[in-house]
Amino acid sequence: MKPSQIYYAKPSITNLEVQYATDAAANGWGKHCYDYIERFEASFASYIGSRHAVATSSGTGALQLGLAALGIGAGDEVILADTNWIASVAPVVHLGATPVFVDILPDSWCLDPQKVEAAITPRTKAIIAVHIYGNLCQMDALAALATKHHLHLIEDAAEAIGSHWAGQFAGTRGIFGIFSFHGTKTITTGEGGMLVSQDTDLIQHVRQLNNHGRAQGDPRQFWASEVGYKFKMSNIQAAIGCAQLERIEALTSRRREIFFTYANLLSGQPLTMNPVPDNGEVYGYWMPTVVFDKATGVTQKNVLQRFQDNTIDGPASISPIWQPGRFSQEGTHINASDICTRAINLPSYHEITDEDQDRVAATLLKVLNDA
């Protein structure tokens, strides 16, 4: 008999989320149709330390709104790491701009600032710093580059809820930052996202774009000042978000607890995991990840098969986005191309048990012993 399934991620939903969502479904209509949205935006901005927050239908939609509000478009180049999910790239492409991929650092798997500087051209308009898995980019170095070359610095903090630099949260150091509330994330609204910024003018344009291009305060109800989008979050989704945000400290601290349990179970083995900084940074550890040493000969394919045999969901670590035929850029990014072949994400969700984590670790140790 096979052991019970261990999922790689799932949300933590309590009676509080059900209560708020039920209230929104029953009463959140007419003049109350934005009540939970406005409450969620205000609460999230307060938590994250941002002047403004705009709730959206996804983190991808938030990124596209922000880029569009900055005027990013045809002829522009946007630099980002090669190790990313396509959601960080799609808005760049949809706006007609050109993504420029650079290699990652071998320890954090985030943008390499030296590679970023080498990739800057007269067409470069922005840098997107993706805090992958909750690991923080080197924002001081990236901010210096952005200032030096007059570029927009944008934070994709979709996976970085709870990560901060001595109290300054991820998402608040660029011209804008975005977050994801997908069902796999630390906090969820089912699907959803948030754009945060200190820039009032930018936020006003984002809100206009997100309302089909209708200017706020325009008395002409069905009049669009520009062609916009509709990446709005629903009131019911926002109600779930409000409940999740009331539990944010418990949700983020549990993610850290899960990571450090894995780290202890795998201590001393020929592998590395997400960094544990000693410089005042704190990571949210959305997705604990293992990278096996080259000398072990262990590959991602080996581990995925062993996980499947033991009814463990194990999402493969993200592969390089640049591939021949997909984007016009040429070249090989050594770290991005190599690390993904030896990396595996580990199951992580609020209700995962110690026994489940023991089973995941034991499976990895067996893979190493058999290598």
pLDDT of residue 324 exceeding 60, the answer is: no
Assess whether 231 and 98 both reside in one domain.
yes
Residue 329's pLDDT is 62
Report, as an integer, the average pLDDT of 74-85: 94
Task: Kindly indicate the confidence band of residue 218, based on its pLDDT and cuts at 50, 70 and 90.
Answer: confident
Residue 319's pLDDT is 73
Assess whether 47 and 122 both reside in one domain.
yes
Among 246, 269, 300, residue at a domain's last position: 246
Q: Are 197 and 175 in contact (CB under 8 A)?
A: yes
Q: Which domain holds residue 282?
A: 248-370
Assess whether 300 and 344 both reside in one domain.
yes
Residue 322's pLDDT is 62
* Residue 10 counted as domain residue: no
* Residue 3 counted as domain residue: no
Q: What is the 3-state secondary structure (H, E, C) of 184-212?
A: CCCCCCECCEEEEECCHHHHHHHHHHCCC
Residue 314's pLDDT is 81
Residue 99's pLDDT is 95
| Mean pLDDT score across all residues of the chain | 94
pLDDT of residue 325 exceeding 70, the answer is: no
Task: Give the CATH number of the domain where residue 45 resides.
Answer: 3.40.640.10
Task: Kindly indicate the confidence band of residue 167, based on its pLDDT and cuts at 50, 70 and 90.
Answer: confident
Report, as an integer, the average pLDDT of 305-331: 76
* Residue 66 counted as domain residue: yes
pLDDT of residue 327 exceeding 80, the answer is: no
Residue 291's pLDDT is 96
Which H/E stretch holds residue 102?
strand 98-102
pLDDT of residue 330 exceeding 70, the answer is: no
Q: In what side-by-side order are the strands of the sheet with 193-197?
A: 52-56, 193-197, 176-180, 152-156, 124-130, 77-81, 98-102
Higher pLDDT, 224 or 196: 196
Assess whether 112 and 186 both reside in one domain.
yes
Assess whether 261 and 211 both reside in one domain.
no
Residue 328's pLDDT is 60
Assess whether 221 and 274 both reside in one domain.
no
Task: Give the CATH number of the domain where residue 279 resides.
Answer: 3.90.1150.10
Residue 208's pLDDT is 96
Assess whether 293 and 207 both reside in one domain.
no
pLDDT of residue 197 exceeding 70, the answer is: yes
Q: Are 105 and 83 in contact (CB under 8 A)?
A: no
Residue 316's pLDDT is 73
Report, as an integer, the average pLDDT of 35-39: 98
Assess whether 182 and 57 both reside in one domain.
yes
Assess whether 233 and 134 both reside in one domain.
yes
* Residue 240 counted as domain residue: yes
Contacts of 278 (CB under 8 A, 6+ apart): none
The alpha helices in 111-189, defined as continuous H runs, are: 113-119, 139-149
* Residue 2 counted as domain residue: no
Task: Kindly indicate the confidence band of residue 320, based on its pLDDT and cuts at 50, 70 and 90.
Answer: confident
Residue 326's pLDDT is 66
Report, as an integer, the average pLDDT of 185-198: 97
Task: Kindly indicate the confidence band of residue 32, based on its pLDDT and cuts at 50, 70 and 90.
Answer: very high
* Residue 296 counted as domain residue: yes
Residue 317's pLDDT is 72
Q: CA-to-CA distance for 61 and 146, rounded, in angstroms?
A: 24
pLDDT of residue 33 exceeding 80, the answer is: yes
**What's the pTM?**
0.95
Q: Are 99 and 127 in contact (CB under 8 A)?
A: no
Report, as an integer, the average pLDDT of 55-79: 98
Assess whether 99 and 36 both reside in one domain.
yes
pLDDT of residue 2 exceeding 70, the answer is: yes
Among 213, 246, 279, residue at a domain's last position: 246
Q: CA-to-CA distance for 340 and 323, rounded, in angstroms?
A: 14
* Residue 70 counted as domain residue: yes
Model confidence over 246-267: pLDDT tens digits?
A: 999 999 999 999 999 999 999 9
Task: Kindly indicate the confidence band of residue 118, based on its pLDDT and cuts at 50, 70 and 90.
Answer: very high
How many structural domains comprise the chain?
A: 2
* Residue 4 counted as domain residue: no
Assess whether 234 and 214 both reside in one domain.
yes
pLDDT of residue 110 exceeding 60, the answer is: yes
Encoding tokens for residue 212? 């089909």
Q: CA-to-CA distance for 220 and 313, rounded, in angstroms?
A: 52
Report, as an integer, the average pLDDT of 170-187: 97
Among 246, 276, 309, residue at a domain's last position: 246
pLDDT of residue 63 exceeding 90, the answer is: yes
The alpha helices in 189-345, defined as continuous H runs, are: 200-209, 235-246, 248-265, 300-309, 334-339
Assess whether 205 and 91 both reside in one domain.
yes
Task: Kindly indicate the confidence band of residue 354, based on its pLDDT and cuts at 50, 70 and 90.
Answer: very high
First-residue to last-residue Cα distance in the chain: 26
Model confidence over 38-55: pLDDT tens digits?
A: 999 999 999 999 999 999
Residue 65's pLDDT is 98
Report, as an integer, the average pLDDT of 118-143: 97
